[in-house]
Structures are given as C-alpha cells and as structure tokens.
Amino acid sequence: MREIGIDRLDDLARGAGILGTGGGGDPYVGKLLAREAIRRHGPVTVYDIDEVPADATVVAVSGMGAPTVLLEKLPAGTEELTALRALEAVLGRPATHIVPIEIGGVNSMIPIAAAAQAGLPLVDGDAMGRAFPEAQMVLPTLMGVPNTPMAVADDKGNTLVVDTVSNQWAERITRAACVQMGCQVSCADTVLRGDQLRDGLVPATLTLAENLGKAVRRARAANADPVRAALDVLGGVKLFTGKVVDVERRTTGGFARGNARLEGTGTLELSFQNEHLLARRDGEIVATTPDLICVLDTDSGEPVTTEAMRYGLRVTVIAAPCDPRWASPAGLELAGPRYFGYDCDYLPLRGRYAQVT
Amino acid sequence: MRIGIDVGGTNTDAALIGDGGQVLATVKSPTTEDVTGGVAAAIAGLGATEASAVMIGTTHFVNALVEAARLEPVAAVRLGLPATAALPPLVDWPDRLREAVEGAVYLCHGGHEYDGTPISALDPGELRRVAADIRARGLRTVAISSVFSPVSADSERQAADILAAELGPEVHLSLSHEIGRVGLLARENATIVNAALRPLAGRTVAAFAEALAVAGIRAPLFLSQNDGTLMDVDHARRYPVATFASGPTNSMRGAAYLSGLTDCAVVDIGGTTTDVGILNGGFPREAAGEALVAEVRTNFRIPDVLSIGIGGGSIVAPEGSVGPRSVGYRLTAEALVFGGGTLTATDLAVAAGQAVVGDPARVTGVDHERPLKIIAERVAEAVDRMRTSAAPLPVVLVGGGSILVGELPGFADVRRPDHYEVANAVGAAIAQVGGEVDRVFSGPRESVLAEAKNEAVARAERAGARAGSVRIVDVEELPLAYLPGDATRVRIKAVGDLDLEKIDA
C-alpha cells in the first residue's frame, strides 16, 4: 500500500502519455483534474493487486470520447461520481476499490480524481496495459467478464446505464450516446471481484507509468538521451527518428483517424485511430497493434499525442511489446490490425529483437 | 530606407537599412523608463530624418508578464456551464502571477459542443449581473472565453455585445477566438494575458508613436509578431500578446540576414543570458507542444530556444565559474574595465584581447584563460543540445555579449557577422508580412488545401508582400464531424517580404 499525492502526478502523467501510444488523450487536463481532486480530498491510497481482498468490488472508472474534445470542453467535475453512483444503484452494493480501465493517456488520471472524490482506494494495474479506442478491448473480455452494467454520465447531468449481450454492444451503444452527449463522458463499468484481478488486469501499470515518467525526467536533467531512458524501462526498440512532414486527420464516428508521414533517413508512415496502430518504414510494416507504437519528442522525450502531431516536429518512434495475452488469437481478434481495417497480420516484436522479451 | 528598432529591457538597438538591403547605420542606447526617450535617442543616433517604414520589436510586454508588473487585473469570463466547472480560469497559473492578474473569475452559461450546437443557452441576465460585478470591482479589462469558440464564436460575440453595452467603451474586451486555437485552457490563458496587457499596450504604442514624432519621422509604424511578421499599430494595441516571442525571432532572423545563412545555429549572447536557437530554411525551429510563457501554458507557436545563464554582465566567481548572477544593465558602472569593482565576463574578454571596451589597462593580469574556456564549453554544449543530427552545423554569434566567445569546441564554422550587436534590430527591419485564411471549407482535402493556400498567398500579397516571395508557413486543419460534405476548418498562414513600394503607394 502507498499513496499518490500531488507530487507524483507529473511523472505519472508523462509515463501514461507514453503508454498512450499517441492516443488516450493528453494527460495534462487529467493531471489537473487529479490534482484539484487530491487538493480538495487528500492523497489517494493505492494497493497492489495481491493486497486486494478476494471479495472486493472493483469498479473501473474512465473517460470516453474524443481527446480533442476533452482539451476544449473541460469536465464539469461531477461526471465520475455521477456515473459511479448510478452503477452502484444498479449493482445494489457499493464499490470498494477503483481501477483504471486503461493506463495510457488521460484515463490514468481520471480514476485518481474519481478515487479522491469517492474516498476509495485505487488498484495498481489496468485492463489494457496501454491505450485502446474501444470499450471491449480489455482483458476482462478475454476472460468472459462483461463490462456491463455500464454507467455513463455527461457534463450536463444526463446518465445512462446499459446492460448488453456482449462487451462489443456496450461499446456500440455507449459510443453513440457519447457522441450525442457531446463527445466527452465518464463511465463506471467492468465490475471485478478481487480474485479476478490477476486475470483481468495488467499488474502494476501505475507504477510502470510513474517509473517511465521519472526515467525520462531524470535523463533530461542529466543531459542523457530521454528516448533511450524510455526504451530501457519499456524493453522496446527504436523504429525511426525524423521530422513530421504531413498529417492527415478526420473525425468520424467519434474517433480521430488519420495518417502521419515522417522523413529522416527514409520515411516512416504512421496510421492512427486515436492510437498509433501501424508503422511502415520505407513502405514495409515494422510494427503493428497490439504492440505499443509510441511517438516521443526527440529532444525532450515527452510523448506526442496524435492530435499534437504537426508539421516540423522532430520525433522518435519507438515500439514496445504488449501484454502477452493480447498476442493470443482471441486477443488479436479484439485488437489486432485486421480489427481496425488494416489488411495485414500482427507482426510481433517478440522474437524479432533480442532486447524484446 | 527603413528603420528597425529593438526595445529590450536594457538596451534599445536600432538599425537603418537601405533600399538595397544594406545596413547603413546602427546604434545602441539605454532603454528609458518612458520608452519614448530611448526610442527617440536611438533614431537620432542613426542620423535618420526620414524612412519609408519603422519596425519595432519589443520584449516590453513579455517582460511585464515575467516580472508580474505593470499588469492590469482581469475579469475572466468563461462561457460553458455546466461543463468546465472542474477547472476554472487561471487554474494552473503560478501564484505570484495569478495574484497580479486575477481581478475576478466568472463561470457562465453558453459555449458550444464540438459540432457547434450549444452546450447551454447564453443567459443575458447572468451576463448583466457579471457586468455589474465587474463595474463594482472597478475592473477595466475583460477576457472572454467560450468552449469551442474556434468552431463557433457566437457565444463570445454575443457575450461581448452584452458586456460592452453594460460596461461602455472604456473597458477593453479580449475574445479568445481571435487569439488562440483549440485547447480551452491554453487559449484562455493567452486571452487573459492579452487582457492584462491591454492598458500597457495602449500606453507603449502611444510612446512609440510619440518617439517617431519627436524624431520628425513620418512613416508607418509596425510591430514584430511572434512568427516574424509585422502588425500595424491598431492591431498591436488590441493584441499585445502577439509580440511575445518576437525577441528571439528577430534576433535569429537578423542573424540569418547578416550571415547569409539559412540553416545554422544562432547564439545570441546578451547581458545576462545566452539564447540558442536553430534556423531551418531561414525560419526559427518551433518549440514542440505546449509553450510555457512565464510559467503559463499557452498554445502559441514560439521559437525553440535554450537559455543558459551566461552573458556579458555575468559575474565571475573567485574559483573561476561564470554566471548565472549578472550585473545586468549596471555593466558600464560595475565592470572592472569601466572602473567598477566586479569581475565580469566582459572583463575577461577584454583581458584576452577579444574586445576593446572601457579601459583595458584595468584588467591587465586578470586570469582569463580558464573562465573563458568554461564559457566556450558551456555555450558549445548548449548548441550541441539543440542540434538534431551529427552533420556539421554552422554557428552564428550575435548580441553584444558575443565578444565572450571566439571558438567553440566541436564546431568548425563559427562566425560573427558585421553588425552582430544589433541583429535583433536588423531582424525587426526585415520582418515580413503575412496573410491568413481561417474558415470552413468543404470538399476533398487536396483541393481544399490548394484553394486555401492560394487565398493565403493572395492575402499576404495584398497586405504588402512582394509577389514571388510568399510562402506557406503554417497549416492547421480542424475536421468538423457530422457536418455535410466533409467540412473542415482550415487555418493557413503565408508570409512574404515586405515590398516597400507597396507601402509608399
């Protein structure tokens, strides 16, 4: 057991930004939300997965919507608790712990704010080990645990609780509602018992995010290469260093989709749908989802989100291995390249690079 | 002929540029408290009695923010309730600045969703109550921000109309959609900064005009903006925040002009700090992501500059370390060569025979070798941190303090061009004019972009840019989902060289 106070948020947000693989939203707004919540309600207690009692009621709290919208339409601040209370009313019992659904990006921070507001402890782990764009792309789906009942609340005070026949249906219905509600809502869902956490979560990812953010900060302070420091923590590989020369994007169905082209020694093309999903170097695929494709500012090592990608930025693209459960046939069906409409198979990093284990 | 003037915190530098682009005269004079005196003295020092245009670059406004002085308390009005209440205006500002700037904060209804539909209806009664409170508090400048105002500015405009009607013409209104891009907090911050600077901007611009009148110069007056383009006086009065990064921009572009290089590192050594930037194709490399100005997060596009605490006024410690403490503008009183009692970096340069200022006899026997070597190493290290490849990189030294550096370890090509000491004034004089397009287009991306680019180029030419010199420097696309026909908001900026004949005409 330990505590997350305001002084830990900068490192955590930076690391979560890197694990966001370009998506998950800029954690800046999330960091401010967490900071204001901790300032008002005090630090948040964090437990390792092993420390959570078997009969605990663990609820994932997250934000859903388009990241650019969160940057512009800041939350009312009531959304998380409204969603949590709506879920508890349907469950008939109170939540005992809160857990991040995704460690990448702003959804690492929303649960911290929610835990501070609710006065509940947080679990060190998440259901993705990175960021993914859709609600069913979580390890509990692989273990057959439903993500519903799912409660959704917007800034205006509207709430919605859905009970669906599959996790995919929960995504479809709540996404449509999210668009109508203004493209930025909070969700409380995916209720896990304490004894389900080992199968349903990637463990210790809050700690990983903090260590990653700390390594980059320290490397920069020591005039060392911050990208190298990030690679060392992640056990990843460097794919490309160059300059962004073109970014094409469009928002469809509540997602920011597009392509970015980088030039350096050769070219690298990134395809993204909120997250970076595919990297082609000189026309050849070099990394795919569900492995992590992260874009870092070459000089500072700061994560660059897909919405911040713009002409002239000097960036380094790195790749890191996903949780092994995503590389299973069922995992790839949920979050592999073909699911996102790319006509190619998963090209695992593991086995191609000695440093990736 | 045109006159470029750089009004810095310590010195006011000026350069007279001939019609053929040659530097005819330069002058350095102390900045005066009233601004007018220093500018008038600089123009007099040039010996110029006429000019076709006067361009002024100034750090006056950004300095006010850095010092948290000369700022007007702001009424920050945000439209967007019930959204945004979790993070009110000024939420992430440093305390000292917040105290200087915060007049009052109001969260009101209004604002838009991403697709332009209202979040909640604007409430005229609520805004009239806000106006009454603003009046009761005696606040004279208002920043209005509204959620998604870059998509729909309706809320901001309506609120401005109501507030203007209630508060009268003496109260300044700054509207966020005219100042920044998508990203509410960063845009709102810039708008609040702008609002806090409006009274100072009015006084300063008047002082500049007064100085020109004193010098007998009747030429149009322009101010340099962050991106190296010019704005006229009326624009400068209303948007002082647009001048924020013009200092480094002018010095880098001046260095490019004087050295003839377009791709190089520029090292600008002043009295207190050394600023290192990188020029790519004649334009400063921009900072990535958020731009922190005096610890306030904004989304300006500003040059990527690394500052280290070494300058001509840096104090040399007994064990040989240099800076970051500096005698600053008191250099001509406190340095040994000027008869003072403090060993400064300038004394080292004079002792080494790298420069002749003051009385060299006063520094005979000063051990200069080791501290000057430390200075060269630290500057070289800063340049090295800014470079992005191992390829040879020419280094251009500018600024009055650049006499501190002769060679830089690891860099074969180090130059100090003529007129290096007034590179920023030269940069102001050669500043360019821009044309911007910002509206919603429909159709396929390629044709939309081509159409918008052509329009931006045409606007730059109409604004005074020489045909053929205009190029696109910024492209921003903001897709507007759920509008028919692939609607995209496109913002494109084109800049070109100022054609003086067009001004004369």
The domain spanning residue A316 has which CATH number?
A: 2.40.390.10
CB B74 within 8 A of CB B102: yes
Do the Cβ atoms of A29 and B385 come within 8 Å? no
A122 plus A252 within the same structural domain: no
A82 plus A132 within the same structural domain: yes
A255 plus A199 within the same structural domain: no
* Residue A159 maps to a domain: yes
The domain spanning residue A19 has which CATH number?
A: 3.40.1610.10
The one-letter amino acid at B31: T
Would you state the pLDDT for residue B483?
Answer: 44
Confidence label for A128 from pLDDT (cuts 50, 70 and 90): very high
| Partner A, chain B 292-321, Cβ-Cβ below 8 Å | 297
CB burial string B275-285: b at 16+ within 10 A, e below: bbbbbeeebbb
Q: Which residue of A has its CA nearest to B181?
A: A72
* Residue A282 maps to a domain: yes
Do the Cβ atoms of A314 and B87 come within 8 Å? no
Interatomic CA distance for residues A227 and A297, integer angstroms: 8
Interatomic CA distance for residues A69 and B148, integer angstroms: 9
Rounded to the nearest angstrom, the gap between the alpha carbon of residue B185 and the centroid of all alpha carbons in its chain is 20
The contact set of A with B (CB < 8 A) is: 28-29, 32-33, 36, 66, 68-69, 71-78, 155-157, 179, 182-183, 223, 248-252, 254, 297-300, 302, 304, 308, 310-314
Closest CA to A176 of A63, A77, A255, A86: A255
Contacts of B80 in chain A (CB under 8 A): 73-74
* Residue A244 maps to a domain: yes
Do the Cβ atoms of A182 and B182 come within 8 Å? no
Any idea which of A340-344, B98-102, B191-195, B323-327 has the lowest mean pLDDT? Answer: B323-327
A295 plus A328 within the same structural domain: yes
* Residue A345 maps to a domain: no
Is the model more confident about B17 or about B180?
Answer: B17
Closest CA to B84 of A42, A150, A32, A23: A32
Classify the C-alpha dihedral A324-A329-A333-A334 as positive or negative. Answer: negative
Interatomic CA distance for residues B490 and B147, integer angstroms: 19
Interatomic CA distance for residues B246 and A116, integer angstroms: 43
Which residues 6+ apart lie within 8 Å of A174 measured at CB? A64, A135, A150, A152, A160, A162, A185, A187
Do the Cβ atoms of A32 and B388 come within 8 Å? no
| Range(s) of the domain holding residue A82 | 2-203
**ipTM entry:** 0.89
Do the Cβ atoms of A73 and B481 come within 8 Å? no
**pLDDT tens, A180-215?**
898 899 999 999 999 999 999 999 999 999 999 999
Is the model more confident about B75 or about B410?
Answer: B75
Would you state the pLDDT for residue B482?
Answer: 41
- Rg (C-alpha) for chain B, rounded Å, is 24
- Give the bridge partners for B314, in sequence order: B326
A64 plus A139 within the same structural domain: yes
Max intra-chain CA distance, chain A? 59
| Mean confidence (pLDDT) of chain A | 93
Interatomic CA distance for residues A279 and A270, integer angstroms: 5
A140 plus A15 within the same structural domain: yes
Any idea which of B68-77, B117-126, B297-306, B423-432 has the lowest mean pLDDT? Answer: B297-306
* Residue A79 maps to a domain: yes
CB A218 within 8 A of CB A229: yes
Contacts of A304 in chain B (CB under 8 A): 288-289
Which residues 6+ apart lie within 8 Å of B391 measured at CB? none
* pTM listed for this prediction: 0.87
* Residue A149 maps to a domain: yes
Using the 3D structure, point to which of A203, A237, A265 is the last residue of a domain: A203
* Residue A38 maps to a domain: yes
Residue boundaries of the structural domains of chain B: 2-65+203-260, 72-196, 306-426, 431-504
Contacts of B119 in chain A (CB under 8 A): 73, 155-156, 182
Select B2-65+203-260's CATH number: 2.40.50.140, 3.40.640.10, 2.60.120.200, 3.30.420.40. 3.30.420.40
Residue A301 in tokens: 């090592």
| Mean confidence (pLDDT) of chain B | 89
Query: Got the DSSP string for B295-341?
Result: TEEE----B--EEES--TTEEEPTTS-EEEEE-GGGHHHHBGGGT-S
A113 plus A241 within the same structural domain: no
> Percentage of residues in chain A with pLDDT exceeding 70?
98
Residue B430 in tokens: 């050669």
A270 plus A184 within the same structural domain: no
For tokens 């304490």, what's the residue?
A194
A238 plus A281 within the same structural domain: yes
CB A206 within 8 A of CB A107: no
The region that residue A182 occupies, defined by phi over 0 for left and psi between -120 and 50 for alpha, beta otherwise, is: left
Closest CA to B119 of A21, A74, A266: A74
Contacts of B147 in chain A (CB under 8 A): 72-74
* Residue A132 maps to a domain: yes
Rounded to the nearest angstrom, the gap between the alpha carbon of residue B140 and the centroid of all alpha carbons in its chain is 25
A26 plus A175 within the same structural domain: yes
By the 10 Å C-beta count (0-12 exposed, 13-18 middle, 19+ buried), B504 is classed as: exposed
Which residues 6+ apart lie within 8 Å of A125 measured at CB? A49, A99, A100, A197, A201, A202, A203, A204, A205, A206
Could you say which architecture CATH assigns to the domain B72-196? Answer: 3-Layer(aba) Sandwich (3.40)
Confidence label for A252 from pLDDT (cuts 50, 70 and 90): low
Alpha helix locations (H) across A265-327? none
CB A130 within 8 A of CB A104: yes
Structurally, chain A folds into a number of domains equal to 2
Contacts of B177 in chain A (CB under 8 A): none
**Long-range CB contact pairs, B230-234, < 8 A, 24+:** B230/B55, B230/B431, B230/B432, B230/B433, B230/B434, B230/B498, B233/B205, B233/B208, B233/B209
| Partner A, chain B 63-102, Cβ-Cβ below 8 Å | 80-87, 91-92
**pLDDT tens, B328-370?**
778 888 999 999 999 999 999 999 999 888 999 999 888 899 9
**pLDDT tens, B222-244?**
999 887 788 888 889 999 998 88
CB-closest option in B82, B183, B486 to A156: B82
Would you state the pLDDT for residue A95?
Answer: 98
Would you state the pLDDT for residue B505?
Answer: 41
Closest CA to B280 of B262, B305, B268: B262
